[in-house]
Amino acid sequence: MSSLNISDIQAAAARIQVHTTPVLTSTILNEIAEYQGRARHLLFKCELLQKSGSFKFRGASNAIALLSNEDAQKGVCTHSSGNHAQALALAAKLRGIPAYVVMPSNSPEVKKSAVRGYGAKVIECEPTLQAREDTAAKVIADTGATFIHPFNNFNVMAGQGTMALELLKQAEDQGTPLDGIIVPVGGGGMLSGIATAIRSLNPKVKIFAAEPMNVNDCSLSFVAKDHVSNAVGATSVADGLLTNVGTNTLPIILDKVDGVFTVSEEDIIRTTKLVWTYLKLCIEPSAAVGVSVALHNKEFKAMCDEQNIRNVGVILCGGNVDIVKIAKLFENCEQ
């Protein structure tokens, strides 16, 4: 596939076997999202309850399902230290094919163990992008495996877009049809898939991206209408959103997304704790970024009032969290 359209996403929805994740609300978080006395109704799409613990399973399973039997038997390969690694490992296991995952040697052992637990072979490398790419290229040369990119792959984007089909219907069924949606953005695969689906099915819904202020390449690229990369070494507690937007995702973002908003590290941590406390959902900090925009970004709140955006979907993208690490973040956090 060399492009993305709604028929690709609808076909993916019919093809893949995923959980239809629930949509939850919170009176307390709605109250925090109010601006100058004007109400906001937040609808949380709980992708942390998806297979493998994140939305990534949708895209990985669609990409694997589309492989020919001949290619599938040679396996799949990726380089990832996060949720895509686990999702690809599980999707490959369910199809009964090999999975090879290149991971930096400094990746947390809990993540390596999770990938191995799904049956994938973990190949460690030096913690640089060049080392990841070189190691993956060697694995592919040795095995004939197909490389599945975490976000710059249109089949992956189509799978991610299936959550928008669910959310639009769920919001309607709850009597709160969407006026807008907030999607966390790293490489942009999830944002591209969701934006493509919503623009096709309900173009009145406003689409917004959310990212950490510390790694705001999407925001900068959105303004420049061209790729602007994060500073070398830039980091965030939302470690699932550190990568730059992709060459295939940015054109879709520029064409279909209405705005990009950023939040501070302090607000991301504070919001993560709020969701744990009031929704009783153990999200990872990357999943808190969209919620944080809705709760704490005054520019976003003012814009919603101006455009009469009341019912806002928020993607809680994952829950693969290190409990010890998150506990330390919460220790000095004030709600």
- Can you tell me whether residue 316 is helix, strand or coil? strand
Q: Which of 26, 52, 80, 81 is catalytic?
A: 81
Q: Is the dihedral of CA 291, 295, 300, 303 positive or negative?
A: positive
Catalytic residue, from 51, 56, 256, 301: name it: 56
Sign of dihedral through CA atoms 90, 131, 247, 291?
positive
Whole-angstrom Cα distance, residue 209 to residue 266?
19
DSSP lists the bridge partners of residue 45 as 23, 315
Per the CB < 8 A criterion, the answer to whether 84 and 111 are in contact is no
Tokens at 214, concatenated: 């510390």
Calculate ∠ Cα 57-58-63, nearest 5°: 95
Helix residue ranges per DSSP H, the chain = 6-15, 27-33, 56-65, 69-74, 83-95, 109-117, 129-143, 154-173, 189-201, 217-224, 249-256, 265-278, 285-296, 298-306, 323-331
Q: Which phi and psi (to 5°) does residue 84 adopt? A: -65, -35
For 259, list phi and psi in degrees, rounded to 5.
-175, 160
Q: Is 107 among the residues known to form the active site?
A: no
Could you tell me whether strands 23-24 and 41-46 are parallel, antiparallel, or unpaired per DSSP bridges?
antiparallel
Neighbour-count burial of 250, counting CB atoms closer than 10 A to its CB (0-12 exposed, 13-18 middle, 19+ buried): buried
Distance, CA of 284 to CA of 268 (rounded, Å) = 10
CA distance 15 to 109: 33
Provide the annotated active-site residues: 56, 81
